[in-house]
Amino acid sequence: MTAEPPRPHPPFAPATGLGRAAAAFPPLQGSAVPVAQERWERLVSTVTVPESPGEVWAALTDPERVAQWLAVCRGAWAVAGRESMLDFEDGEFFWCRTLAAVPPRAHTSGRLRLLWRWVGVGPATAVTWTIAPAGPMSGTGGCTVTVVEEAENPPSDWRSWNGMGWPGILDQLAAHLRTGTGWRWPWRRVGPYLQIPLPVSPYRAWQELTGPGGVQHWLQRSTGSLAPDEELTLVMGDASGTVRMRVTRMVDAAQEFPSYMPYLEFELRRPSWTAALGGRLWIEPAGLEGSLLQVCHFGWENLDIADPVTERKLLTGYWTAAAGRAHTLFLPQGAPAGPHGWSVSAAAAHPGSVPGMPGGAMAAMAGGAVPGMPPGTDPVEVREFLERAVGDLGAAMAGVLCALGVRLGLFTALAGGGPATPAELAERSGLSERYVTEWLRGLAAAGYVEHDPDDGRFTLPAAHAAVLAFEGSPFHMAPGYELLPPLAAAVDEVADVFRTGEGVARSAYADGLFTAMERMSATWLDGLLTDHWIPAVDGLLPALEKGGAVADIGCGGGRALLRMARAFENCRFTGYDLHGPNVRRAREAVAAAGLDGRVTVEEADAGGALAALAKKDGGPGGPLVLVTLFDVLHDVAAPEELLRTVREALAPHGTLLVLESLSADDPADNTGPQSTVLYATSTLYCLPTALADGAPGLGTLGLPPGRIRDLAEAAGFGRVEQVPTGNPFTALYALRP
């Protein structure tokens, strides 16, 4: 057998491609790029009014009322998931999408959250109205109205313009509530004002927009140019005729301190106007890859025209249409059609390209399809969500590194001994220097620890140490990271029951999960239960100081039992738990504390045990003065039945304390990292174990205030009070017979 002679290869084999080969041969020029987080800002304004939360909510959400003090509502105003318009009836408006509309209740704040865009084309900002009782338990009858507006990469004057505007809007609301009269403007001396986001840098955008071709396209120029003192004729569109524009000042990029951003000032004239209307057109950066073009007018009072609102509407319509035309200058181009068109890979250099995405994929997406992806996918949205996904994955990985640090005592060693090199921290903790080095570098990348390149030491900032290293801190969250390994270990078991709909027994979970839960709850039980929560419930503190019987249902390792037993020496305590390892740990803790005589722990169903006690008139300690259900009720097999049993076992003036995760009545309002943590815990533990016990499977966030009140009323409780907890994860309720 003879060997086949080698075949010549083309300079670039099809499998390799010219683009890939060229990427490995960069041009002889600088390749550094800026790296920065996207800038965001937040404005907070507030006012206190004597009216009730319900009255304020009506003025904020009833379209007829809103029209009297703010703007005319068009569409489904203040309806979650719907879009609407706040129309100022002078050409300008907010286009809104309501994200949440939660009316205030007896003990909870109302919240209206929306996204809006000025005249429908400006960048979206988030606006959240919160209506909260002005005094504890709404005893004053008034309320506080707070508005928070959040923006990403807003213009430099956003804080002054919007920040000064919000107090005026709140004053209009307060005046309407006080007098019942309308107090809003039909039109304004300044405007229309537009913001036009563009997907390219400000210098690139300005060059395209002010060039002859760009001016003709987006400004609809029929004659003239942007040269100072030369007049342009602009076609306004429809039947509204033309407008003459004269540039009075043109400042190019890098010419004027302090911003060095380009701008131009101009005058507009229409045949029906007796004078010129002033205007300004300018551009600002919006992040690293975008810009914000802005235009504003002033001097309407000088025009001496009979109907300024009509002219203002025409001008707003012109600039809104111009915004759309400006966008088309920067749209990604589709794939070429024909052998002599531009190369598909050239799309990678297009202003709308996505960094890190192959040029061919970009062009194909712009053309409407790419293998394995939905047709018509927006490449900018892909990039934005990709960044979000990478950020979330990085946060998850940082969480695992934190779990290691908590288990090995690295945070405590770093906080206690001060800044350290990897070798110094390894010596303090008795661990391997190489592993400690990698751990420190990873958490420095995540921003948890700080690194000084001059001396090579790593520091745990004091604010971070309060969360990660000091167990006595009210903000201690380190045990939360210890939940990650045992919950992750249960993924296979939970994946199986996803298919069958069954549950997972508690015995399938590692003991480390229950000790982590106990340590996590210790952050508020140790620091808040006896010093703040119990004294906040009217009459409960003197009742416990006098003495009586107390039951803790679902006592876990006995943390709350021991805390209360040390504080109230005249009481006898009984803890109930169904999980054997928890009961053993609780009994050991009771014995170690020397409280065997006043504290007992039973491995039993609390419902049956309390029913038996009720028949014996409360047992040896008499009727129960206090029963606690800390993070338990959402897991029990029959919540209403258990509450009814507790009601019967309580003394006439007894109290049931129910602690649950802080949850909104509408699940759609449970958003953000806090809710994500709680939903993940529910999916991996609370829901599977509850279903295994034959419970309805309410979930960690399954008992919001409204549901708690419904269950309490059905069980025969006469009063339900929500007790301030001072904790962002928990809600506490005091139920009385």
Give the model's confidence band at 471: pLDDT under 50 very low, under 70 low, under 90 confident, else very high.
confident
In the chain, what percentage of residues exceed pLDDT 70? 85
> Residue 10's pLDDT band (boundaries 50, 70, 90)?
very low
pLDDT at 292: 92
**pLDDT-wise least confident of 234-238, 260-264, 322-326:** 234-238
The rounded mean pLDDT for the chain is 84
**Domains, the chain, ranges and CATH?**
40-186 (3.30.530.20), 191-328 (3.30.530.20), 383-461 (1.10.10.10), 506-736 (3.40.50.150)
H or E element at residue 265: strand 263-269
| DSSP codes, 333-371 | P----STTS--GGGGGGSTT--TTS-HHHHHHHHHT-BT
The confidence score (pLDDT) of residue 307 equals 77
pTM above 0.85, yes or no: no
Q: What is the pLDDT of residue 383?
A: 74
State how far the Cα of 384 lies from the Cα of 354, in Å rounded to an integer: 9
β-strands 624-630, 548-553 pairing:
parallel
Residue 48 has pLDDT above 50, yes or no: yes
Nearest CA to 273 among 318, 315, 316, 321? 315
Q: What is the DSSP string of 226-251?
A: SSTT-EEEEE-STTS-EEEEEEEEEE
Write down the pLDDT at residue 367: 44
**Each residue's pLDDT tens digit, 95-145:** 999 999 999 987 778 999 999 999 998 899 999 999 998 764 434 568 999
Higher pLDDT, residue 17 or 626: 626
Statement: residue 340 has pLDDT above 70: no
Rg for the chain, CA atoms, rounded: 33
- Of residues 396 and 621, more confidently modeled: 396
Encode pLDDT of 379-419 as tens digits.
767 777 887 888 888 889 999 999 999 999 999 999 999 99
- The sign of the torsion formed by the CA atoms of 542, 543, 544, 548 equals positive
Give me the pLDDT at residue 642, please. 93
Q: What is the pLDDT of residue 591?
A: 94
b/e per residue 463-496 (b: at least 16 CB within 10 A): ebbbbbbbeeeeebebbbbbbbbbbeebeeebee
Q: What are phi and psi of 38, to 5 degrees?
A: -65, 140
Distance CA 491, CA 474 (A): 31
Q: How confident is the model at residue 489 (pLDDT cuts 50, 70, 90)?
A: very high
The tens digit of pLDDT for each residue in 672-699 reads 888 888 899 989 999 999 899 888 889 9
Q: Look at residues 320, 317, 253 and name the one whose alpha carbon lies nearest to residue 291.
A: 253
Neighbour count for residue 416 (Cβ, 10 Å): 13
Least confident of 104-118, 152-166, 559-573, 636-650: 152-166
pLDDT classification of 86: cutoffs 50, 70, 90 = very high
Is the pLDDT score of 342 beyond 50?
Answer: no
- Which DSSP string corresponds to 665-717? SSGGG--SHHHHHHHHHIIIIIHHHHHHTT-----TT---HHHHHHHHHHTT-
Asked whether the predicted pLDDT for residue 15 surpasses 50, the reply is: no
Distances (CA, A) of 531 to 113, 156, 415, 563: 35, 47, 28, 10
pLDDT of residue 670: 85
In terms of average pLDDT, the best of 46-60, 224-238, 597-611 is: 46-60
83 class by beta-carbon count within 10 Å (0-12 exposed, 13-18 middle, 19+ buried) = middle
Using a 10 angstrom Cβ sphere, with 0-12 exposed, 13-18 middle and 19 or more buried, the burial of residue 508 is middle
Distance in angstroms between the alpha carbons of the first and the last residue of the chain? 98
pLDDT at 554: 92
How far apart CA 192 and CA 542 sit, in angstroms, is 64
Work out the angle at residue 542's Cα, subtended by the Cα atoms of residues 541 and 548, and round it to the nearest 5 degrees. 90
The residue type at 410: L
Does the pLDDT at position 348 exceed 70? no
Assign 3-state DSSP to the chain and report helix, strand, coil percentages, each to 5. Answer: 40, 25, 35
pLDDT for 36? 52
Which residue, among 311, 93, 328, 334, has the nearest Cα to 205 in the 3D structure? 328
Question: How confident is residue 62, by pLDDT bands cut at 50, 70 and 90?
Answer: very high
Confidence band, pLDDT 50/70/90 cuts, at residue 61: very high
What digits encode the pLDDT tens for the residues 497-544? 999 999 999 889 998 888 888 888 777 777 788 888 999 999 999 999
pLDDT of residue 85: 93
Q: Cα(148)–Cα(145) distance, rounded to whole angstroms?
A: 10
What is the structure's pLDDT at 1? 39
Q: Answer whether residue 372 shows pLDDT above 90.
A: no
pLDDT at 434 over 70: yes
| Residue-level pLDDT at 210 | 92
- For residues 710 and 675, the model is more confident at 710
* Residue 263: strand pairing partners: 251, 282
Share of the chain above pLDDT 90, in %: 47
pLDDT at 28 over 70: no
How does residue 364 score in pLDDT terms, banded at 50, 70 and 90?
very low
What single-letter amino acid sits at 268?
L
Is residue 145 within 8 A of residue 46, CB to CB? The reply is yes
Q: What is the DSSP string of 6-54?
A: PPPPPSS-TTT-HHHHHHTS--SS-------PPPEEEEEEEEEESS-HH
Alpha-carbon span 139 to 53, nearest angstrom:
12
